[in-house]
Structure 1
């Protein structure tokens, strides 16, 4: 499996309704995509949920490189290139994926990022993967790590915005979630 995300940084005065409309009109095009476990169409709005900037930041989990390669090189990703230009695509490996039956009701994603520190064993990192303590219904979670940079992102999916999230990480609004075949 492969985790993939690009974060398109947008001007502070960018009309985010353009992103909402884009996803409303085109989000279903990745429904049923080959080898796609899920694609969450994410965005942040400046000054909403304590975000400092506007962004469009789709997040994917691929079952294999075949579907990811088809998405990137068979013309689908060209829509991003035409609309937003060349983007750095972040790639990682899922350490775990835990989605509930209500996962597709998710409206918000909480991202917590960090660095895997140099140690004599990595067993301690994998054993530290405990559920997030929250009073809100957690509909899914995953941890994506990149051993090239020794960084990780823990992603938590919610139907409602969890309180005190700014103390933990960044909130993204989920506009649509696609599921592949």
Structure 2
């Protein structure tokens, strides 16, 4: 599996209603995209007291079953239209260590993302096991999905969670509103 995210930092005075409307209008286009486990349409708004953010962001997060689906999407008309509207973003990719999805995945309304530096000399198997335990703990605290992945070029890890309710724990990262969840029917049947 591959985790993927790109992010658009929008001007401080940008009307985020445009992004919310775009998500409503275009969100269903990836609902049954081949090889997709899920796509979370994420945004955050500067000055939003409920979800504090320093920036206006549009930052979809994807979980791909394999590179075939990811390559089809990145080379396809939907991503081309996004690039036309906002410019071509830098796309971050992480091989997945673990992904836990539960039936409430489609009901997610919030997301959290933490980026973590993996220390030089860290025992990667121990790190992965610790992340697995944290994911199970987050699932017990209401996470609808828990994905942990890593990027070996810069030795970072991403801890991504989807929540039905506002996250019950403080995080050292970004909190997003989920505007739409694309989850193919086959994935819903699996979880």
> How far 1:99 moved relative to its partner?
1.0
For 2:52, the equivalent position in structure 1 comes to 50
Question: Which has the larger share of helix?
Answer: 2
> How far 1:35 moved relative to its partner?
0.6
Q: In the TM superposition, what whole-angstrom CA distance separates every residue of 1:132-162 from its partner, at most 9, and x where no partner exists? A: 6668522111112111111111011111112
Equivalent residue of 2:167, what SS?
coil
In 1, the alpha carbon distance for the partners of 2:52 and 2:23 equals 23
In 1, the alpha carbon distance for the partners of 2:2 and 2:116 equals 19
> Aligned ranges for residues 42-121 of structure 1 at < 5 Å?
42-48=42-48, 49-119=51-121, 121=123
Number of residue pairs the alignment of both structures matches: 180
For 2:172, the equivalent position in structure 1 comes to 168
> How far 1:25 moved relative to its partner?
0.7
CA contact (8 A) 1:41 1:176 kept: yes
In 1, the alpha carbon distance for the partners of 2:58 and 2:70 equals 19
Q: Which runs of 5+ in 1 are unaligned?
A: none
CA contact (8 A) 2:108 2:163 kept: yes
> How far 1:131 moved relative to its partner?
2.4
Q: Which runs of 5+ in 2 are unaligned?
A: 187-191
In 2, the alpha carbon distance for the partners of 1:51 and 1:136 equals 23
For 1:158, the equivalent position in structure 2 comes to 163
Aligned-residue Cα RMSD (Å) equals 1.7
Question: Normalized against structure 2, the TM-score is what?
Answer: 0.88
Question: Normalized against structure 1, the TM-score is what?
Answer: 0.92
